[in-house]
């Protein structure tokens, strides 16, 4: 993924937070060539980040990789299950994590740190999901894998030590978009019931027509060029940027947002997804639904992962943790 702090947006961008800008300036010193369909990383992506034991680093957490049934007629799905050490026999809240990467890159191991932090802080059992990527496996492959993993977690809650009434699904970027889609699918398909949806800078609008989508053309962490590539890979050229795209691919296309589980929507003020995410919250509120919205001043896309020591990251993580505690608590 190209990450720079220089470019020529067609609309004047909201400035980055100074701490965010400093990191972007450093990243810009070592620019990477833009990704194409032909250069999307596939081999060795699970080794690009530290291994699971290295991330856990002695914390009281145990884990295991598992293979579970995928959607009907599709390949099995790989997951990693994390739990607090010594929690056998307890019934804990559940968290299903869906990784980011535009639905075209990424691996669940890239987000082990985020998942482990949630397991440790909130004492929950977490399921980290692997799903098929586009363009090799375009829509609906990826989202059906994620829905299958959520259904499996709910159906196997007892053996996992999870309270089925307290399962939150969440993810960042593409993972946030897939989470929103899984929430729509669960509503439309009659279950399972989701306690909440954690949508971190979710990728939900395929049209790329908002002001924000043009403000970060060539600057920031996830740029317009990559977003256009991602949607074309996921939906194909005919539907890539069309308002006729399926809602389970691009949740902004959903005509009705009523009856959804409580949402936590977090986005940076200085990123391409700002407007689509804010609009999604407004539309949920219009139905009488719950959506806690946080727009973090000067935050680039995924700032909590790119700038973990920034003050806005500390504030964002605190707000996120508060919502998780309240949502798991209210679902008892």
Residue given tokens 């929103």 in the structure block: 180
Q: How large is the average pLDDT for residues 256-269?
A: 98
From the number of C-beta atoms within 10 Å of its C-beta (0-12, 13-18, 19+), residue 293 rates as middle
pLDDT above 60: residue 260: yes
Parallel, antiparallel, or unpaired: how do β-strands 92-98 and 125-129 relate?
A: parallel
Split at pLDDT 50, 70, 90, the class of 7 is low
Parallel, antiparallel, or unpaired: how do β-strands 92-98 and 162-172 relate?
A: parallel
Residue-averaged pLDDT of the chain? 95
The string of pLDDT tens digits covering residues 154-189 is: 999 999 999 999 999 999 999 999 999 999 999 999
The string of pLDDT tens digits covering residues 290-303 is: 999 999 999 999 99
Average the pLDDT over each of 38-52, 107-121, 264-278, 313-327 and give the range with the smallest value: 38-52
Split at pLDDT 50, 70, 90, the class of 43 is confident
Over pLDDT 70: what percentage of the chain? 98
Are the CB atoms for 223 and 7 separated by under 8 Å? yes
From the number of C-beta atoms within 10 Å of its C-beta (0-12, 13-18, 19+), residue 117 rates as middle
Over pLDDT 90: what percentage of the chain? 91
- pLDDT in the model for residue 5: 41
Q: How large is the average pLDDT for residues 69-74?
A: 98
Are the CB atoms for 126 and 330 separated by under 8 Å? no
More confident residue, 4 or 183: 183
From the number of C-beta atoms within 10 Å of its C-beta (0-12, 13-18, 19+), residue 290 rates as middle
Phi, psi of 66 (to 5 degrees): -140, 160
CA 149 to chain CA centroid, Å, is 15
Q: How far apart are CA 228 and CA 38, in angstroms?
A: 15
The string of pLDDT tens digits covering residues 313-332 is: 999 999 999 999 999 999 87
Are the CB atoms for 168 and 274 separated by under 8 Å? no
Alpha helices of the chain — where are they, by DSSP H?
18-28, 52-56, 112-122, 141-155, 157-160, 174-188, 211-215, 224-239, 274-286, 303-306, 311-330
Neighbours of 15 (CB within 10 A): 12
């Amino acid at each position: 993924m190209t990450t720079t702090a220089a470019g020529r947006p067609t609309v004047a961008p909201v400035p980055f937070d100074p701490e965010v800008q400093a990191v972007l300036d450093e990243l810009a010193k070592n620019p990477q060539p833009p990704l194409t369909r032909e250069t999307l990383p596939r081999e060795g992506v699970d080794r690009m980040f530290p291994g699971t034991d290295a991330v856990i680093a002695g914390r009281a957490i145990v884990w295991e990789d598992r293979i579970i049934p995928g959607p009907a007629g599709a390949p099995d799905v790989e997951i990693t299950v994390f739990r607090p050490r010594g929690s056998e026999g307890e019934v804990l809240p559940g968290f299903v994590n869906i990784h980011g990467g535009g639905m075209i890159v990424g691996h669940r191991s890239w987000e082990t740190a985020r998942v482990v932090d949630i397991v440790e802080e909130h004492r929950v059992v977490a399921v980290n999901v692997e799903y098929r990527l586009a363009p090799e496996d375009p829509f609906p492959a990826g989202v059906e894998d994620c829905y299958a993993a959520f259904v499996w977690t709910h159906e196997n809650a007892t053996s996992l030590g999870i309270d089925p009434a307290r399962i939150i699904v969440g993810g960042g970027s593409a993972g946030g978009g897939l989470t929103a889609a899984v929430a729509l699918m669960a509503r439309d398909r009659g279950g399972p019931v989701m306690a909440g949806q954690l949508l971190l800078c979710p990728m939900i609008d395929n049209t790329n027509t908002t002001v924000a989508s043009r403000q970060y053309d060539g600057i920031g962490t996830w740029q317009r060029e990559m977003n256009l590539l991602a949607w074309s890979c996921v939906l194909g050229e005919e539907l890539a940027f069309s308002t006729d795209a399926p809602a389970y691919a691009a949740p902004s296309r959903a005509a009705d947002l009523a009856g959804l589980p409580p949402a936590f929507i977090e986005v940076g003020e200085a990123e391409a997804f700002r407007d689509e995410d804010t609009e999604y919250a407004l539309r949920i509120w219009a139905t009488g639904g719950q959506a806690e919205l946080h727009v973090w001043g000067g935050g680039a896309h995924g700032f909590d992962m790119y700038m973990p020591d920034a003050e806005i990251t500390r504030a964002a993580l605190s707000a996120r943790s508060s919502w998780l505690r309240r949502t798991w608590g209210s679902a008892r």
